[in-house]
Amino acid sequence: MTIAVTKSRVEDKLYQNRYLVDPGRPHITVRPHERPSANLLALTHVCPAKCYELNDKGQVEITPDGCMECGTCRILCETNGEIEWNYPRGGFGVLFKFG
């Protein structure tokens, strides 16, 4: 008996989700900073949707489109005030295909 093992990537699974953008009303914002803290820099690596990245000035920026609303950024940065996080308005945000 042969068992077929299929490998799937996180990116392939994320592709199944849909995201309804709320133009001009992002649910997450990064507060202005000159140099990012270690936690803010960590978001560029640990955010599962890869929403955070460094810009040319060495500051962390967010593109909230595609955010999975998992709360990783809230745990790392909301308590120290580096980000402002709110739930998206009703009907907007991530739409999980498989529940």
Instruction: Count the domains in the chain.
Output: 1
pLDDT of residue 3: 76
C-alpha to C-alpha distance for 17 and 37, rounded to whole angstroms = 31
- Structural domain of residue 6, as residue ranges? 2-95
Residue 50 C-beta-side C-alpha neighbours within 13 Å: 4
C-alpha to C-alpha distance for 42 and 75, rounded to whole angstroms = 12
C-alpha to C-alpha distance for 57 and 14, rounded to whole angstroms = 29
CATH code (residue 56): 3.30.70.20
Note down pLDDT in tens along the chain; length 99 residues.
Answer: 777 777 767 667 666 777 788 889 999 999 999 999 999 999 999 998 899 999 999 999 999 988 889 999 999 998 899 999 998 988 888 877 765
